[in-house]
Structure 1
């Protein structure tokens, strides 16, 4: 069995032209407990932490089939609120009927909110959009980098959406999609170029902070055919970051 680690993804080749894709994320100190740094409902914690793992799977071209939550707090009431947030995010992603499983901490009292999530997807190899840039491409960003309270107060169009991602995945001329998290746009763009053995040429006139954290994947970068980009309307905040050139 062939297993690869690429970016934040684990790829398991099942044979028969299918691959399992695994992604995870974690969150600590965000909730309503005594020692939480950012005071928000655990519902928000669950919702946006789940978003990160779901985005990773969807951007790879895979279909999410299972999501596991590991909650480092009691079920009553923190755990239930986190799970409710996860369930709302699954509904927004259009995958509310998948298997949702997990665990909580019932043996010891906790004084800060902690939560991890693992998403599992399956994809036919012909649809896998990982290390899929075979020719020169335009590199764009969708959404704005936001973190913490900025995420909570964002409005529609500020951050990358499931509808936009799923629309882009339908096109062969969209070669690869990569969610951006805490390491920022520049880091993910550099990793995308490195993994595809391409050279990154930045657009220094881009009006977006490529160093800032994008929190729970509020930005997605896309490698796309330049001519195709000129003829497609992508909703939301879109910025040309530069190009990927063959070395």
Structure 2
């Protein structure tokens, strides 16, 4: 059995054909308890926390097989709100909520909301899109980086959705997709270039803030075929060219 750590993913080869992909995320001090710093309904804190882990796994090409939630609070009523939020996000992602398992804290009183999520997926090696850029490509961002109060609790067309990720995964013109986290688009782009062994050249004039936090993976970057960039821009919303991957 071979185990690799790439970006925020753990990749475990379980046989000649299959790989387990693991990602996690946590959220603390965001919710409706007295000690929370950022007051939002607990349901939404849970939704966006599980979204990060889901996005990491499905962008790799893997199918989710298990979601675990570690709720660092009592079941009634914080835990129930967390589970409800997770199930809502699983429904949006088209994932059966029977994959969900978890635990709560019943021994001690807590004053701040704490949530830990682990997403586990499986993919065949030929469908894995991690370090999968084999030729020069254009890096684009899709969706806009948003964080905190900028994030709408209802449908927001500026935030990338699961249907878009699915379409990107199915396109032979998209070599690799990476969710943007708190370190921003520029950081994820630099890591993508380095991990794939390419030299990176950023576009001179950028239409998106490449250093802004992507919050709960509200946008992604993708390495796409140089010759198909016009089709990518036409077929998807909120697409910005970030830079170019060139051979060393």
Q: Partner residue of 2:48?
A: 48
Q: Are the counterparts in 2 of residues 140 and 221 from structure 1 also a CA contact under 8 Å?
A: yes
Give the structure 1 partner of residue 150 of structure 2: 150
Q: Distance in 1 between matches of 2:94 and 2:235?
A: 20
Residue aligning to 2:138: 138
Equivalent position of 1:205 in the other structure: 205
Pairs aligned (count): 247
CA distance in 2, matches of 1:172, 1:18: 21
Q: Aligned in 2, Cα 1:62/1:98: closer, same or farther, shift over 3 Å?
A: farther
Q: Map residues 148-227 of structure 1 onto 2, 5 A cutoff.
A: 148-152=148-152, 155-227=155-227
Q: Relative to structure 2, which stretch is displaced further, 165-174 or 233-242?
A: 233-242
Q: TM-score, normalised by structure 1?
A: 0.97
TM-score (norm 2): 0.97
Contact 1:164 1:234 in 2 (8 A): no
Instruction: Give me the CA root mean square deviation.
Output: 1.2
1:111–1:98 CA distance, 2 compared to 1 (3 A): same
Aligned residue in 1 for 2:64:
64
Corresponding residue for 2:127? 127
Alignment correspondent of 1:239: 240
Return the offset for 1:234. 3.2
Runs of 4+ deviating beyond 2 Å: 152-156, 231-236
Q: Which structure 2 residue ranges, 5 or more long, are not aligned? A: none
Relative to structure 1, the CA distance from residue 98 to residue 138 in structure 2 (aligned partners, 3 Å threshold; closer, same or farther) is farther
SS of the residue corresponding to residue 22 of structure 1 reads strand
Alpha-carbon separation, structure 2, partners of 1:155 and 1:15: 40
1:131 & 1:197 partners in 2: Cα distance? 9
Q: Is the 2:87–2:97 Cα contact (8 Å) retained in structure 1?
A: no
Secondary structure of the structure 1 residue equivalent to 2:14: strand
